[in-house]
Amino acid sequence: MVDEARAVEVQAAAEAADKRKRFIAGLRAAGIVVGLIVLFGILNAVTHGDFLAPNNVLNILRQIAVIAVLAAGQTFVIITAGIDLSVGSLIALTGVLMAGMLAGASNPVAGVFLAIAVGLGVGGAAGVVNGFPVVKFNLPPFITTLAMLDIARGLAFLYTGGRPIEIDNTIFDFVGSGFLLPGLGRMLKIPGIPTSVLIMLAVIVVGQFVLTQTRFGRYVYAIGGNEEAARLSGINVAGVKLSVYVISGALAGLASLMLAARLSSGIPQSGGGDELLNSIAAVVVGGTSLMGGRGSMTGTFVGALLIGMLYNLMNLLNVQSYAQDVVLGAVILAAVLLDELRRRYLASR
């Protein structure tokens, strides 16, 4: 009794609508790219060619790698309408633990594997501790992750006695400061593509795939959009919510690995600066709603890139560091405001 021909029509219409949506998105992206090229050209001229020099671009990407990986985890959490405040401290805790593992290992190769396992494992375990009270007792994630922020920082200091642990392991250092793809590097007159940048890109690509192409990703959006409707649809809401905190914790461990390898040490004070706030800023600037249900990983990457470029540019222009903070805050506010206005404009049409 189903009208097959009509069904095919509706399906075709859906595919057309999908295509149209992608075309418009592509057009918009193209517009943004053109705009950015013009802007970059101007900025490049202003900085006498420093801004777009391959080495400088590489610098920007290396500088945002840690933030972008943290922000990737944060994106999952924020789309479910949660927040993870503990990521900065988890950098410190997992960093000193990894350094400790490497120092204690007899075999350097085994030490690297052990360190990575401990870094990601402890980060993920901290995510369980963050998420469990949220899903079981309905505590606000703001509170549970704030508690973890203190606990992880304290544990990092307890473990080290407040002193950095040096890392003397060339394999491990490679992750933070090594270069891959030397052929590509020669073309661009740089040593290669930094490992940390490749890790960041892999995290973003996998994250975007998981969010848009898998059941898990669909559930993440559904829970952020309407948790009760998601529950009534039979979704394991507790499991998905717990998972996003585990992902965020584990990615904090990965970010810590990149940072510790770059600094060749596990430092209990690390991750105590702007890491947390910049990771949230990248997500928000990238168009993800703090109310949940909406956002994307590519947006987060663009957000991190924007913040990184802004810092870099201000450094090239010798903007005083206190003034940099003022500018960054203003840009975050303006970006989110513009996004909101654009959304309202689209909704009103």
Partner 1 sequence: MADVEGPVAPVPQESGYLEVRGISKSYPGVRALNDVDFDVRLGEVHALVGENGAGKSTLVKILAGAERPDAGTISIAGNRVAIASPAQSEALGIAVIYQEFNLVGELTVAENVLLGREPTRGIAIDWRAMRARVAAIFARLGVTMPIQAPVKTLSVAQQQMVEIAKALSVDARIIFMDEPSAALTTNEVERLFTVIRALKQARVGIVYISHRLEEISEIADRITVFRDGRHIQTGSASEFSEGDIVRLMVGRTLEAHFPTLPAPAAATAAPLLSVQHLSLAGRIENVSFDVMPGEIVGLAGLVGAGRTSLLRAICGLERAASGSLALEGSNLRLRGPHDAIAAGLALVTDDRKGQGLILGMTVRENVTLAHLELFSHGGHINRAQETAAVAKLAVELNIRMPSIEQVARALSGGNQQKVVLAKWLLEKSKLICFDEPTRGIDVGAKHEIYEIMVALAASGTGIIMASSELPEILGMSTRIIVMREGRVVGRFHAGEATQEHVMALATGARPAAA
C-beta closer to partner 1: residue 14 or 29: 14
What's the rounded Cα separation, in Å, for the pair 69 and 199? 8
Give 283's Cβ-side CA count (13 Å radius). 29
Is residue 218 near partner 1 by the rule CB under 8 A? yes
Q: How many CB atoms lie within 10 A of CB 308?
A: 21
Is residue 231 near partner 1 by the rule CB under 8 A? yes
What's the rounded Cα separation, in Å, for the pair 310 and 1? 60
Alpha carbon 44 to chain centroid, angstroms: 27
Contact region with partner 1 (CB under 8 A), list: 71-79, 209-217, 269-277, 305-313: 209-217
DSSP 143: H
Is residue 225 near partner 1 by the rule CB under 8 A? yes
Count of positions on this chain that bind partner 1 (CB under 8 A): 35
Contact region with partner 1 (CB under 8 A), list: 110-118, 143-151, 233-241, 249-257: 233-241
Is residue 14 near partner 1 by the rule CB under 8 A? yes
In terms of phi and psi (left: phi > 0; alpha: psi -120 to 50; beta: otherwise), the region of 190 is beta
Encode 313-347: b = buried (16+ Cβ within 10 Å), e = exposed.
bbbbeeeeeeebeeebeeebeebbeebeeeeeeee
Is residue 186 near partner 1 by the rule CB under 8 A? no
Is residue 215 near partner 1 by the rule CB under 8 A? yes
What's the rounded Cα separation, in Å, for the pair 269 and 91? 9
Is residue 235 near partner 1 by the rule CB under 8 A? yes
Is residue 339 near partner 1 by the rule CB under 8 A? no
C-beta closer to partner 1: residue 55 or 233: 233
Q: How many CB atoms lie within 10 A of CB 127?
A: 30
Is residue 98 near partner 1 by the rule CB under 8 A? no
Is residue 3 near partner 1 by the rule CB under 8 A? yes
In the shown chain, the binding pattern of residues 261 to 300 toward partner 1, with x for contact by CB under 8 A and - for none, equals: --------------------------------xx------
Q: Are 285 and 309 in contact (CB under 8 A)?
A: no
Is residue 344 near partner 1 by the rule CB under 8 A? no
Residues that bind partner 1 (CB under 8 A): 1-3, 6-8, 10-11, 13-18, 21, 213-216, 218, 221-222, 225-226, 228-236, 293-294
